[in-house]
Amino acid sequence: MTGKFITFEGIDGAGKSTHLVRFAERLAERGIEVVTTREPGGTPLGERLRELLLHESMSLATETLLMFAARNEHLERLIRPALREGRWVLCDRFTDATFAYQGGGRGLDPGRIATLEEWVHPDLQPDLTVVFDVPVSIACRRLAKAGTSPDRFEREPALFFTRVRAVYKERAARFPGRIRVVDASRKPSEIMKTLEDIILNIC
């Protein structure tokens, strides 16, 4: 018995973290054992790498390698063991985010990212990925309203996020069986209705 691996993706301010909590609650109500986690992070070492990734300046290659180092740790210590034990893992960002941010946003050759993906998780892809799709202007307004101090990624200009969003959409078109795009410009209650339909489909 293995659990399902579900990832939430989208640009900063799309609403991933907000809805991940609610999505986990709905699954728990159905008696499913759920582990919620995030990338980069999810393990003690991964969270230390997250601090560096979000706040320390570094080259693009270093950033990408550290993302996968944190991911490897996360897979070995948390994601794979939980799935083996039958728990469902709900993860805020995963490898699609590396293609979108380091690839689309920063311009790294996606072939390089595919090589690391092949090394770190050749055998594992999410069972389901929900992409929270929202215009960049709306996401920026949400983050500004939240008033939290921006990290290295959140300080990037709107054009960066336009490229990130475009890669998410390209990947959704390329992997239609795995990736569901949700219109995240709507009210949270409406988004939750769509997520509940998705849950009905996977349970």
Ligand X SMILES: Nc1ncnc2c1ncn2[C@@H]1O[C@H](COP(=O)(O)OP(=O)(O)OP(=O)(O)O)[C@@H](O)[C@H]1O
Counting Cα atoms < 13 Å in the Cβ hemisphere of 80 gives 12
12 binds ligand X (CB under 6 A): yes
CB atoms within 10 A of CB 7: 25
Partner from Mg ion, ligand X, none binding residue 174, C-beta < 5-8 Å depending on class:
none
Q: Residues 3, 10, 46, 126: which binds ligand X (CB under 6 A)?
A: 10
What tokens does 72 get?
């490897």
Between 12 and 117, CB nearer to ligand X: 12
Rounded to the nearest whole angstrom, what is the least distance from the CB of residue 25 to ligand X in the complex? 15
Tokens matching residue 154: 């959140």
Q: Which does 15 bind (CB under 5 to 8 A by kind): Mg ion, ligand X, none?
A: ligand X
Residue number, 80 or 162, with CB nearest to ligand X: 162
149 φ, ψ (degrees, to nearest 5): -75, 135
Q: Read out DSSP for 132-144?
A: EE--HHHHHHHHH
Applying CB under 6 A, does 96 fall inside the site for ligand X? no
Tell me how far CA of residue 199 lies from CA of 5, 117, 170, 171, in angstroms. 13, 27, 24, 21
Of 42-50, 54-62, 69-77, 181-189, the segment contacting ligand X by CB under 6 A is 181-189
Using the minimum distance from each CB to ligand X, give the nearer residue, 147 or 177: 147
16 contacts ligand X (rule: CB under 6 A): yes
Please, how many CA atoms are within 13 Å of residue 25, restricted to the half-sphere of its CB?
Answer: 7
* Smallest gap from residue 155 Cβ to ligand X (A): 12
Q: Which two tokens stand for residue 198?
A: 């998705």
Applying CB under 6 A, among 188, 193, 197, 203 the residue interacting with ligand X is 188
Q: Where do contacts with ligand X occur on this chain (CB under 6 A)?
A: 10, 12-18, 142, 146, 184, 187-188, 191
